[in-house]
Structure 1
Amino acid sequence: MNYKIAIIGLGYVGLPLAIEFAKKYSVVGFDINKERVNELNKCYDNTSEVSSNDLKKVLNQQKNKLFLSFNVEDIANSNIYIVTVPTPVDRNNRPILKPLEKASKTVGKLLNKNDIVIYESTVYPGVTEEECVPILEKYSSLKFNEDFYCGYSPERINPGDKTRTVANIKKVTSGSTPEIGKKIDNLYKSIIVAGTHLAPSIKVAEASKVIENAQRDVNIAFVNELAVIFSKLGIDTHDVLEAAATKWNFLHFKPGLVGGHCIGVDPFYLAQKAQEVGYHSEIILAARRLNDSMAEFVATEILKLMVKNNINANSAKILMLGLTFKENCSDIRNTKAVDLYKTLLQYNSLIHVYDPNANTNEVKIRYNIDLLPKIEESYDVIILVVGHNDFLDLDFSEIRSSNSIIYDLKGVLSKKITENRL
């Protein structure tokens, strides 16, 4: 089949996927954000997931050229539509499906007979067939599984990871019929070096994705609880984990702030669906509550250290190293570093934030925080919030005051630099 692929959404997921598909197929990448599209066409990706050279190469290649657009008309001739829009939660942690619904409406108006729509956005089981398909049918006037077909292949992008890229992560696939499932599986198999796994149904594929991050959330919540307990016992949590990890079947997770657009959000999708069918999730929601409380716990631990070292919180200068939700990426969505910042502000201290990976304008707009362009002062308290590689090479002796505290939230600094870590 001569595939003409449209990627709906050019963020952390859609852009790398579009580039991989464009190596073998004709691809149009579509996004409603005009500024984003214009930047990409100038070979600049502000997420830092794709290099300028890789963008330039795929945009200028002669065969299977990638075309990026914010005009819906440019994806009208496609026969494969892949939706990669975000699926956030609201203030009450309830799933927001509006971006998915709008994308389905857009695609529905363009659908032709035998077209295939594949969703990659993280959802709870049932969303594709129960929420998206009716929209596709309404706006296309076509019948599902007779005139058009659907699939679900959950994204597994790991922001900031230059080793586990799209092609190097095994892909789960599924289709609305067995035949379509095989077609979709073969499509992804043609670009995914790591291979694919064809799930027996769309709901199974949806469920597999949502539990991946829920599982990590629960495991991190466990070690975060250990960190709270061991702090009260005067034991170094990382020393305990290092000793325990000598057993072959020990799962090595580290304590820390758990944010981002996946682990900090996806468990709520599963919990919401469970509630709809009459089950109140115990472990999943307990893990979320514990992980969401860690910023306050860390702030309290730092305040105790300040008192112990005779540092007045009202006049202290605090430096936070890192604001993104994880190391070596620029993604600031749902970052819990902001929760730590807001909690520390209550102490009336002067707080500076330095993060060379984050976009200064985006941070200002989203969180009203002014990032330091560079570190030029010494500080009473230095908190390593995110383990960016850039921070591992810092000379802390140049930026700490004589009676300062260095708190290693990630547990990546040498004990020669600090004994204070989560």
Structure 2
Amino acid sequence: MPDNPLTHSSIHSSTDHKIAIIGLGYVGLPLAHAFSEKYEVVGFDINGERIEELNRGYDRTLELDDTQMKEALENGMKFTTDLDEIADCNIYIVTVPTPIDSSNRPDLTPLIKASESVGKVLKKDDIVIYESTVYPGVTEEVCVPVLEKVSGLKYISTETLSTIHYPLSTELKGFYCGYSPERINPGDKEHTVTKILKVTAGSTPEIAKVVDDLYASIITAGTHLASSIKVAEASKVIENTQRDVNIALINELALIFDTMGIDTMEVIEAAATKWNFIKLTPGLVGGHCIGVDPYYLTHKAQELGYKPNLILGARQINNGMSKYIAERTIKEMISHDKKIKNANVLVMGLTFKEDCPDIRNSKVFDIIDELHDYGCRIDAYDPWIEEKEVDQKNFTFITDPFKRDKKYDAVIVAVGHKVFKELDRSQYETVSTGEPVLIDIKGIIKDPTWRL
């Protein structure tokens, strides 16, 4: 009787692991660096310019500094756009983005294309691990069929093995899958990839153990082995959905208190004196996680006939904050006798969070669009990004405004960069014309004209 393929695989020994990381953005590159300290790693990306920069030892996302890039290259890590250079790998980890389209529907195009690429080099007993955030079922219902079609191999899972009757007339030729949701926090130099506990899962109990051991070998914070790929997928998508709902509550309270003329931050400080109060602050919800992931869950829920009103309501509140801030800015300008048409407005900060160059889904651009519709002329300053990275359709990207002669009718501090926090109120006043209108979204200016 032939051996059960569930208990025999050529890649069960960690010494045999050769890893390909597919997608070298904020998630893939730090992961590749971490694995390169113990394994042979090849980083693959379709962006040729990105690959050239990485091979020179430069990471534009700034997730890895020059020293870390040098370490990775010295460890033998390679970066390539050539599929032939990852053909001899036996573990493929997919870390491509999973965005939403203009109608807030999941866009699985990057994930499908990455699966097609992996399928072209996939071999018997290889493991494909997905880290991209998805709704439960995407790995096995969307990605696996692509892998099977392109590779010509069979997906091996607990379910498929249960349909096989022994003895086998021929050896089963197939591949396995795993899922380990990314937990990267862009710009955070304390909670780096190896210091955040990792959820893992695999398509069979044995492969789940292989996947868990693989991550446990580099994740000092430990791992949590989920019972199935779908459970692991669901765990990721609710992490940011929970945060989105919590922030939406604080944002709605801020809108209510602003209408009442009450300082929201003072209310929060008072309420936070109770030991079990969760202290959150209002603000913009952007980035590639909190503002996107809930739509993956709501999409699947609605497909199944359930309307997730709370989650969708939270999304509506958070997506509406940019418009509210823009309107509030206009009201403050009017109350200070400022002209609106052709008014000069300075927006400080364009990234979705402080002290990182990530502008993905930044809601600051929505504020700019709203002000532009009112006829304002907007200059934007952000020391963390380069001019070439932004589409300046509705604004002008400038260098340090404090070294220019231009004055502004309103100044909006939209991002809490450390360099902005180090400025005092008088410095913001120096770039203002007439009575300053200082709009503080991040709570870093003393006695602003208005703060969220």
With structure 1 as the length reference, what TM-score do the two structures score? 0.96
Residue in 2 aligned with 1:114?
Answer: 125
Aligned 8 A contact 1:363 1:369 in 2? no
For 1:320-399, list aligned pairs within 5 A.
320-364=347-391, 369-375=395-401, 376=404, 377-394=406-423, 395-399=427-431
- Counterparts of 1:81-96 in structure 2, within 5 Å, are 81-96=92-107
Q: Distance in 1 between matches of 2:212 and 2:199?
A: 8
RMSD: 1.3
- Cα distance in 2, alignment partners of residues 141 and 243 from structure 1: 63
SS of residue matched to 1:102: helix
Structure-2 residue corresponding to 1:136: 147
Question: How far is the alpha carbon of 1:369 from its aligned partner?
Answer: 4.4
> Deviations for 1:224-256, whole angstroms, at most 9, x for unmatched residues?
111110011000111111111111111122111
Q: Distance between the aligned counterparts of 1:373 and 1:334, measured in 2?
A: 22
1:401 CA drift (Å): 2.8
Tell me, in whole angstroms, the C-alpha distance in 1 between the residues paired with 2:411 and 2:429: 11
Question: 1:256-304 CA deviation, whole Å, 9 max, x = no partner?
Answer: 1111111111111000000111111101111111111111111111111
**Residue aligning to 2:211:** 184
Map 1:247-326; keep pairs closer than 5 Å: 247-326=274-353
Residue 398 of structure 2 aligns with an amino acid whose one-letter code is L
Determine the structure 2 residue equivalent to 1:123: 134
Instruction: Report the CA distance between 1:379 and its aligned residue.
Output: 1.9
Partner of 2:45: 31
Specify every segment of 5 or more residues in structure 1 that has no aligned partner in the other structure, as ranges: none
Quote the offset at 1:222 in angstroms: 0.7
1:392, 1:296 → 2: CA distance? 24
Is this contact kept in 2: 1:364–1:370, CA < 8 A? no
Determine the C-alpha separation between the residues in 1 that align with 2:337 and 2:228: 61
Per-residue deviation, 1:316: 2.4
State the alpha-carbon separation in 2 of the partners of residues 393 and 399 from structure 1: 16
Q: 1:96 is matched by which residue type in structure 2?
A: D
Moved more, 232-241 or 404-413: 404-413
SS of 2:410 mapped into structure 1: strand
- What residue ranges of structure 2 are gaps of 5+ in the alignment? 1-12, 157-171
How far apart are the structure 1 equivalents of 2:237 and 2:223?
A: 18
Pick the aligned partner of 2:253 from 212, 226, 246.
Answer: 226
Map of 1:43 onto structure 2 = 57
Query: Residue 379 of structure 1 aligns to which amino acid in structure 2?
Result: Y
Larger radius of gyration: 2
Q: Which residue of 2 aligns with 1:79?
A: 90
- Aligned residue type for 2:430: E
Between 1:214-223 and 1:374-383, the stretch displaced more is: 374-383
Separation in 2, partners of 1:369, 1:310: 23
Structure 1 residue 420 corresponds to structure 2 residue 450:
yes
Offset from partner CA, 1:360-398 (integer Å, 9 cap, x none): 101037x66431122113322111101111111223243
Q: Residues 224, 70 of structure 1: CA spacing in aligned structure 2 closer, same or farther, 3 A cutoff? A: same
Superposition pairs for residues 1-80 of structure 1, below 5 Å? 1=13, 2-61=16-75, 65-80=76-91
Deviations 1:330-371 (Å, cap 9, x if unpaired)?
111111101000001122122110001123101037x66431
Number of residues paired by the alignment? 416
Contact 1:360–1:370 (Cα < 8 Å) also in 2: no
CA deviations over 1:116-149 (Å, ceiling 9, x no partner) = 0000000000000111111111111111116211
SS of the residue 1:109 aligns to:
helix
Instruction: Give 1:58 deviation, angstroms.
Output: 1.5
How many Å separate the matches in 2 of 1:177 and 1:221? 39
Percent identity over the alignment? Answer: 56
In structure 1, give the amino acid aligned to 2:143. C
Q: Distance in 1 between matches of 2:377 and 2:368?
A: 11
Matched, 1:402 2:430: no
Whole-Å Cα distance in 2 between the matches of residues 44 and 371 of structure 1?
Answer: 24
Change in CA separation of 1:369 and 1:312 when aligned onto 2, cut-off 3 Å: closer
Cα deviation, 1:176-199, whole Å, max 9, x if unaligned, reads 111111111110011111111111
Between the aligned partners of 2:66 and 2:227, the Cα distance in structure 1 is: 39
TM-score, scaled relative to structure 2: 0.90
User: What is the CA distance between 1:315 and its match in structure 2?
Assistant: 4.2
> How far apart, in 2, do the equivalents of 1:59 and 1:371 lie?
35
Letter in 2 for 1:407: I
Deviation at 1:202, TM superposition (A): 0.4
